[in-house]
Amino acid sequence: MSTITLPRPDDWHLHLRDGAMLEGVAPETARDFARAIIMPNLVPPVVRGDDAAAYRERILKALPEGSDFEPLMTLYLTEKTDPQDVAQAAASGLVKAVKLYPAGATTNSDSGVRDFDKVRGVLETMAEIGLPLCVHGEVTRPEVDIFDREAVFIETVLDPIRRKTPGLRVVMEHITTKDGVDYVAAQGDDMGGTITTHHLIINRNHILVGGIKPHYYCLPVAKRETHRLALVEAATSGGNTHFFLGTDSAPHVDAAKETACGCAGCFTATHTMPLLAHVFEAEGALDKLEGFASRNGPAFYRLPVNEGTLTLEKTDQPNTWPAKIETGAGPVTLFDPGFPVHWHVKR
C-alpha cells in the first residue's frame, strides 16, 4: 500500500506543559490528533476539578484558530485527593482519568503517592463510577535497578491494587517490557496499556552506545532489544485490543536535556503518525494501524471513534522535519528515528 486512511487518531498519553511551552507545542499535536489524554504533572500539579478546568482553558487558548482538538483532562492523584471532588469532576464530563505517579518516578512527580493505603478511598470511588486510573508503572525504591522497575511495579504495586479494588479500570502507560505486555494481554476488559512511538523504535543501546544521547533518554527508560520487539508485536499484531497509542510526547528545552542531570522525555508529537506507518509497514501490518491509533483507545475510554479521517501517503522522497521546534520557552529537539521515513501525512 502507498496510501492508508484512518479515522483521525487520538493520543492517550500526552504532555503539553504550560505557559510558553504549551503555546509552542500544542499545535504540533492538534495538527494530526483529534483528542489526547493530558498529563497533570504541572508545577503545581492539577489535583482538583477546578485545576483541570482552568488548565483546559489554557490549552484551548494555545491552539491554532479553527482547531477542533479536544483535550481530555486528568487529575493528579495525591494522598490528599478528595474522592468526592474526583467523582464530581468525572460526572461533569471534564475529567476522563486520574493519574498515579509513584513519588519520584519521573518529571514533576514529587507530589505522587508513597502510601497506597491513603488513596484507597479514591480508588474505590473510581471503581464504582468506572473512571480509569492511568499508572506510571515503575517503583522508585533505590535498591531496585532502573531496568527492573516496571516488572517489580507489576508484582508489588499494580497487581495488588487491582486485586484489592475489584472493578477498577486501569491503563498501564508507556509499557517498556515484555513483562508489561504479557501482564496487560492476560487481563480482562478493565485493563489497557499504552505504547509510545519512541519505545517501538529505540532500545537502550540508542541511549548509551557511542556516547550518551540525552534526547533518547526517557522514563521509563528504553530496555533491551527483546523488550522492544515484544512491544512491536503487541502494537502491530492486532490480536489484543487492550493496547493503544499513548505517545508520552514530553517536551523539554534543549538546555534541560543537554546537561549533567538531563530531564527525561522524547518529543514525538510532530511526526508520530509517519513514524508509526513506517514501523507497521516493516511488520507487514499497515492494516492494523487503525486499531492501534484510532479504535482501541476510544473503546477502552468508552468514547466514540472520531468521525474525521487522516490519510498517510508513501512517496519516493523521505519526509523531512525541523530538527527543533522553536517555542517561547526555548528550542525543543524533535525525536530522531535514525532512519529515513517515506510516509507523509497528506494535507
Phi and psi at 112, nearest 5°, equal: -75, -170
For every residue of 251-311, DSSP letters joined together read: ---HHHHSSTTPPP----TTTHHHHHHHHHHHTT-GGGHHIIIIIHHHHHHT-PPPSSEEE
Strands 330-333 and 324-327: antiparallel
Q: What is the pLDDT of residue 108?
A: 54
- From the list 248, 254, 316, 336, the catalytic residue is 248
Count, in order, helices (H) and strands (E) of the chain. Answer: 13, 13
The confidence band for 116, taking pLDDT boundaries of 50, 70 and 90, is confident
Q: What is the pLDDT of residue 109?
A: 60
Domain ranges, ordered by start, for the chain: 3-345
Give the model confidence (pLDDT) of 32-88 as tens digits: 999 999 999 999 999 999 999 999 999 999 999 999 999 999 999 999 999 999 999
Q: What is the pLDDT of residue 75?
A: 98
CATH of domain 3-345: 3.20.20.140
Phi and psi at 16, nearest 5°, equal: -115, -10
Give the model confidence (pLDDT) of 202-253 as tens digits: 999 999 999 999 999 999 999 999 999 999 999 999 989 999 999 999 999 9
82 carries an active-site annotation: no
Measure the CA–CA gap between 300 and 130, rounded to whole angstroms: 11
Give the model confidence (pLDDT) of 86-114 as tens digits: 999 999 999 999 999 887 666 656 677 88
Give the model confidence (pLDDT) of 169-191 as tens digits: 999 999 999 999 999 999 999 99
